[in-house]
Amino acid sequence: MASLSTIHHLKPSSILKTPHDRRFSPSKTRPTFHHFNNRSLSLNSVLSSSTETEPKIPQTVDRFWQWLEDEGIVSPKTPVKPGIVPEGLGLVATRDIPRNGVVLEVPRKFWINPDAAATSDIGTLCSGLKPWISVALLLLRERSKGDESKWKYYLDVLPQGTDSTIYWSEEELLEIQGTQLLSTTLSVKDYVKNEFLNVEKEIILPNKQLFPLPITLDDFFWAFGMLRSRAFSRIRNQNLVIIPFADLINHSMKVTTEDHAHEVRGAAGLFSWDYLFQIRSPLSLKAGEQVFIQYDLNKSSADMALDYGFIELENTSRNGFTLTLEISESDQFFEDKLDIAEMNGLGESAYFDIKDGQQALQTEMLQYLRLLALGGTDAFLLESIFRNQIWGFLELPVSRANEELICQVVRSACKSALAGYHTSIEEDEKLIEEGNLSSRLAVAVGVRRGEKKVLQQIDSIFRERESELDFLEYYQERRLKDLGLVGEQGDIIFWEPK
């Protein structure tokens, strides 16, 4: 049996990276949460002639609607109109719309995607750029053209930002201290900043005729945020496309399918035919009700916080925690373990998403954990003669020491991750119960509560396993059974001379 001392290289910190590994030192002032006024359109300055009872529609939105009409994208037959709704701008049914009824259609020439960037006046600069960067540059270039831009009226209704954590102040980020969301947010911000510095040096500064006005890092973040929150990604041939008008539709958890976007061929103006981006309503709606879609069933709460700036506070099934496991370079069996991991489609690091309520752990995660913990008297399994079988062996407990070690390591990593949050689950739940949280605080409290719950859940799975260590069947026992050397009662049958 392997003793802990023979596998001492396996410390919690070496296999399970927790979010507060990252250095983050926001200012020491207390966080203040403001409701973020994220739209440049001023709701009380320029108002249209909407009726008294309806929220006033800003003039920029009226002008956008007029433009859609002039371009033949909407007509009196269009069953929706823009409205001010709790989620910002949205689309509201003007008559009953059946489930799967067509809500809108937008011809290809208005789509904002890498093709549009390639055929625009910055097209020659875009070849070789990452698709999202070419679209971000197109948005910035068009915005700087003002009245000259083909998308002017659309750009005028875009918000200045969202509640995505990429826009949070340092004080606001303190509210997600210790979370994986914080560490992802900081990595994304670093990534966007580096991309900006590159694009500024290679594209923006050398092409002053196309980018006469300075483009700042904040501008670039604006474009990135618009893409993350508004682009459609799952229609045929379109991995990244902003569809003006269609992007006014908000998300609802009541919608449980993502089958709302279609690419069809049809009339695109008076005399032409083209591809149209079509949205069909996933819900049947009465006149006056808001149109909703499901943005993404697979996104976790943290993904939603980062991409859209909101979460489904009541829906805990999106809560999750990603365990990052790593084969330590200081492990004396590093090469063998890496070889085995790679033969089985994994690498030096592996990531496992654990969801709220998930009772059973992924077999692949247990295999990887057992591999990481393998050492001492179990190390013979790393020999090359077992190379093709070992992954199968690791599906089941290898030895008491190995299984005990994975329990200890995971539990201690969970404890240390839990210690990194500045509030308890109970405190978060009290805040949620009291209500009245600003939109950003609701995201912070919901995500940190969700992560902690999942960490507690992982800890309890391994606590239970720890209590079962004496009753599990291990590799040697299974081997003996396979060889017919274990009797019915688990007793070992010794060879006796006849």
Ligand X SMILES: C[S@@+](CC[C@H](N)C(=O)[O-])C[C@H]1O[C@@H](n2cnc3c(N)ncnc32)[C@H](O)[C@@H]1O
Residue numbers annotated as active site: 295
275 is known to lie in a ligand binding site: no
Which residue minimizes CB distance to ligand X? 88
For residue 115, the SS3 value is helix
Window 372 to 411, contacts with ligand X (CB under 6 A): none
Select the residue interacting with ligand X from 55, 72, 88, 347 (CB under 6 A). Answer: 88
Instruction: Provide the mask over 209-248, with x wherever binding to ligand X is found by CB under 6 A and - wherever it is not.
Output: --------------------xx----------------xx
User: Is 278 among the residues that bind ligand X (CB under 6 A)?
Assistant: no
Looking at residue 57, its amino acid is: I
Among 63, 81, 152, 251, binds ligand X (CB under 6 A): 251
Q: Looking at beta carbons only, is 311 or 365 nearer to ligand X?
A: 311
Tell me: is residue 163 an annotated ligand-binding position.
no
Query: E strands along 151-296, which residues?
Result: 250-251, 261-267, 273-280, 292-293
SS3 label, residue 23: coil
**Residue 297 contacts by C-beta under 8 Å, 6 or more apart in sequence?**
256, 258
Closest to ligand X by CB, 185 vs 399, is 185
- Given a contact cutoff of 8 angstroms between Cβ atoms, the answer to whether 432 and 490 are in contact is no
Q: What are the backbone angles phi and psi of residue 123, rounded to the nearest 5°? A: -50, -45
Decide if residue 447 touches ligand X (CB under 6 A). Answer: no
State which residue, 254 or 286, has the beta carbon closest to ligand X.
254
Q: Does 290 engage in binding with ligand X (CB under 6 A)? A: no
Q: Which of residues 309-338 bind ligand X (CB under 6 A)?
A: 309-310
Q: Which residues pair with 91 in a beta bridge?
A: 82
Beta carbon nearer to ligand X, 89 or 382: 89
Asked if 112 contacts 244 with a C-beta cutoff of 8 angstroms, the reply is yes
Q: How many residues bind ligand X (CB under 6 A)?
A: 16
Is 142 a binding residue for ligand X by CB under 6 A? The answer is no
247 is in an annotated binding site: yes
User: Whole-number minimum distance, CB 406 to ligand X, in Å?
Assistant: 40
Q: Is 250 annotated as a binding residue?
A: yes
C-beta of residue 313 within 8 angstroms of C-beta of residue 271? no
Q: According to the annotation, is 351 in a ligand binding site?
A: no
Element (H, E) at 82: strand 80-85
Which residues have a Cβ under 8 Å from the Cβ of 210 and sit 6 or more positions away? Answer: 121, 122, 125, 141
CB of 167 to ligand X, least distance (A): 11
Q: Which residues contact 268 (CB under 8 A, 6 or more apart)?
A: 72, 107, 108, 109, 274, 275, 276
Quick one: 312 or 427, whose CB is closer to ligand X?
A: 312
Residue 431 to residue 427: CA distance in whole angstroms: 6
Q: Does 364 bind ligand X (CB under 6 A)?
A: no
Strand, coil or helix: 351: strand
Structure token pair of residue 194:
């580096």
Examine residue 89 and tell whether it contacts ligand X (CB under 6 A): yes
Q: Which residues of this chain interact with ligand X, rule CB under 6 A?
A: 87-90, 159, 162, 229-230, 247-248, 250-252, 308-310
Annotated binding site for substrate: 230, 234, 247, 262, 295, 308
